[in-house]
Amino acid sequence: MLTQGPPLASDAPAPHDAPAGRGGPPARRVAAALAWATVLAALVAGWWWTGTPGGDVARYVAYWSLALVLPGTLVHRALRGSRGNLPEDLGYGAAVGLLLELAAWALATATGTQPALRWWPVPVLALFVAVPRLRRHWRIAQPRPLPLRWTVAVAGVLVLVVAWAAVGWRANPLPPVDHVYYQDLLYHLGLVHELTRTMPFELPQLAGEPLRYHYLVDAHLASASMITGTAPATVLLRLWLVPVAATAVVVTAGLARDLSGRWWAGPVAAATAYLGVSLSLGSAATASGTLPLSVESPSQTYLLPLLLLLTGVCADVVRGRRPGWGWVLVPAAGLAVAGAKSSGLPPLIAGVALAGVVVGRRARRVPWAVVSLFAVLVAAMAVGYRLFAGGGAGVLSPQVFGVLRFLAPWRETVGAGGGIAAGGLLPPGLAAAGAAGWLFALAVLGWWLALQAPRYVGVLLLARRGTRGDPAAWLLAGALLAGAGGAWSFFHPSVSQLYFFLAVVPFGALLTAWLLAEARPWWPVVAVAATVGAAAQWLLDPLAPSERTRRAWLWAMAVPAGRVLLLAGVAALLAVLLAGLRHRGGRPAGASWRARAAVAGVVAALCGASVAGGLEWTARRIGDPPRALTAAERPWALTRDEARAALWLDAHADPADVVATNVHCRPVRTVAHCDARAFWVSGLGGRRTLVESWGYTDEALAGHARDGFSYPRQPAPDPELFARNERLFTAPTAPELDRARREDGVRWLLADSAAGPVSPELARLAEVGFVAGPVTVYRLR
């Protein structure tokens, strides 16, 4: 027989301090409502503070509530049962709602019925009204409300997530403004527009090229834009982030409660996962792989609620539970995870495989349920790779210690002068560095692991007799180690291999909270240890290396790594002393209480330091006024006039029109081997372009380091088409413009004289539609 873990949420008894009855005393319900109202008020205030239109906010809140959370909650209850409380039901429901929305979007864009997309929840809701067996899912039949302290703690985490997001919103003002937008945001914005069209999709920056990318986050943003009527730029730069992050927070908290059996493990796991960062303790360099939430990588944030929803079902299966209809979520969520971020599924599959081995060895038979789970996930990954992968995923190559070259201690010493080429199975410089070089590489790895300690300390669960036999612990630990292994075993020219690790940071937080729960701590011990950790993070001064040498960097790494060990030792000692005071006069026999107190102190101190680092980052930036562009930044900026012209184009062009433009580069002037990642014509203009920017095409990525240039600086993949595009602006003729119209579907030309010369003949051969500074938009007659 399989060892059974803690009961499922749907079967678990109410926590001992949870009030009985449907919702508890009226005062508790009022207090809980005030906590959630505070979160909503903070979110609305953050949107208002960063200039989000009020009408867009109202429509988005209605969309999220009625078109995602409501149908998703009903379906999740039908598939897996109610969790006995409304907050977790709604959180899991939002995650399922994201899955349902993807299915509705795929059907609408495949059939050309996008205007009907806003009505997709109606048949789902009607089904739950019309079918008698489904009507019961409108209510919680057996309430098991969570303690008010859970509500207040999770609400506090969410308010702090809002504060973190507001910093990102303030750093990315809504257009039109003079601003240097991170190029990936404009790239995603072009994809959002593209995914409002009908399949098959094309690369909007290079019309006619098939779209190969993990674009399901853009499908979500496109759906939100079409359903609410809100501009895609407002959805991307403001509205979507916190609701999706909040879903991840609540699902993580729910999963932590399932795993540990303790309600308070949920807020601890959520805070550690989404507020905590890698430790610094005065480190001169950052240990790459900090926060799993990201403003600049929408796909990373969107991945999290889907991956955690899937992980919850996987944990049930490896524990010997029968998910019933919950099995439906495995292929659906598996494919969604593969299409959201290609780095999300492989670590989870590795964790399932490890858990399957553990289950099989203990049961002395083949665990067919786990084998089936593994097979379904592998199939979802294969299908996802076929449908979505391309570009960045295709340029990933095996390389032991591949992340080294992006870490300052290595980059400034052994790796200096290594160039941009991928190299072989070892980073440039390591193979010829000898034993000393290998020892230095291992020292960098040790330093990185020390600063990531809050994410890895939970692996100690596998050393504890009570949890060593729980397959869910092996699943999470296996996925965590596989994610870190992926980060350190591959090379990507933009260090995208780190996404393997970022995807599983919440898994590490779950293990850490679970370990703390197993220690059964006395809360003063936790509070004191967490305070000590926070003080260490805030007060210890950075120690920069005196020179860029191995010896200097070894010392600069040894100090913060040693501080981590010292912090753990001090926290353990304080915890044991405090626990001893509690047990004085009635001390239980044995030394197990000391071990539990020490573990609790170490975990609390590490989590306190991690969360303190994240809060410090937010606190230092949230009060900063909008920053003016520096002289060095101005050439890289998208100007107000350029943004105005692109937005005018979006308002006047037909969705199927193709635009030709002479804008390709950052800075805007077109020169040989420029950084071809402008993306704003397709991003703000919202139309496919004949040739805009090609820096993220498969051809450019495959050509990384060719002739000594990185992939964004590779030449246009089709030189003939590029030359023909440029002649439309530099030497236009009626036959050339007619050919572009007939063969390429070009209806508009966006000419920016800052990008290159524009012939005055163009104004005679085409109709001038709009002029803003150096930008003129022409309509072909």
pLDDT in tens, 373-389: 999 999 999 999 999 98
**764 touches 671 (CB < 8 A):** no
What's residue 48's pLDDT? 98
Which amino acid is located at 730 in the chain?
T
Q: What is the pLDDT of residues 162-203, one digit of tens each?
A: 999 999 999 999 999 999 999 999 999 999 999 999 999 999
Q: What is the pLDDT of residues 217-242, one digit of tens each?
A: 999 999 999 999 999 999 999 999 99
Torsion angle, alpha carbons of 751, 752, 757, 759, to 10: 30
Q: How many helices (H) and strands (E) does the chain have?
A: 31, 7
User: What is the distance of C-alpha 387 from the center of its chain?
Assistant: 20
**Length of the chain in terms of residues written:** 781
Q: What integer is the mean pLDDT of 51-58?
A: 98
**611 touches 742 (CB < 8 A):** no
pLDDT at 6 exceeding the cut of 90:
no
Q: What integer is the mean pLDDT of 575-604?
A: 82
What residues contact residue 62 under an 8 Å CB cut-off, 6+ apart? 228
What CA–CA distances, in Å, run from 314 to 66, 74, 317, 396?
A: 28, 21, 5, 27
Q: What is the pLDDT of residues 653-687, one digit of tens each?
A: 999 999 999 999 999 999 999 999 999 999 999 99
Rounded Cα gap, residues 156 and 163, in angstroms = 11
pLDDT at 209 exceeding the cut of 60:
yes
What's residue 13's pLDDT? 37
pLDDT at 527 exceeding the cut of 60:
yes
What's residue 422's pLDDT? 84
pLDDT at 609 exceeding the cut of 90:
yes
What's residue 20's pLDDT? 40
Tokens of 618: 């937010």
Cα radius of gyration (the chain): 27
pTM of the model: 0.95
What's residue 377's pLDDT? 99
What's residue 395's pLDDT? 75
Percent share of the chain, pLDDT over 90:
88
pLDDT at 8 exceeding the cut of 60:
no
26: Cα within 13 Å, side-chain hemisphere: 0
What's residue 761's pLDDT? 96
pLDDT at 3 exceeding the cut of 60:
no
Helix axes 368-388, 298-318, angle to 10 degrees: 160
Kindly list the domain boundaries of the chain, sorted by start residue. Answer: 634-779
pLDDT at 394 exceeding the cut of 60:
no
**514 touches 256 (CB < 8 A):** yes
- Of the candidates 426, 424, 394, the one whose C-alpha atom is nearest the C-alpha of residue 410 is 426
**659 touches 751 (CB < 8 A):** no
**159 touches 228 (CB < 8 A):** no
**14 touches 145 (CB < 8 A):** yes
**165 touches 39 (CB < 8 A):** no
Q: What is the pLDDT of residues 335-355, one digit of tens each?
A: 999 999 999 999 999 999 999
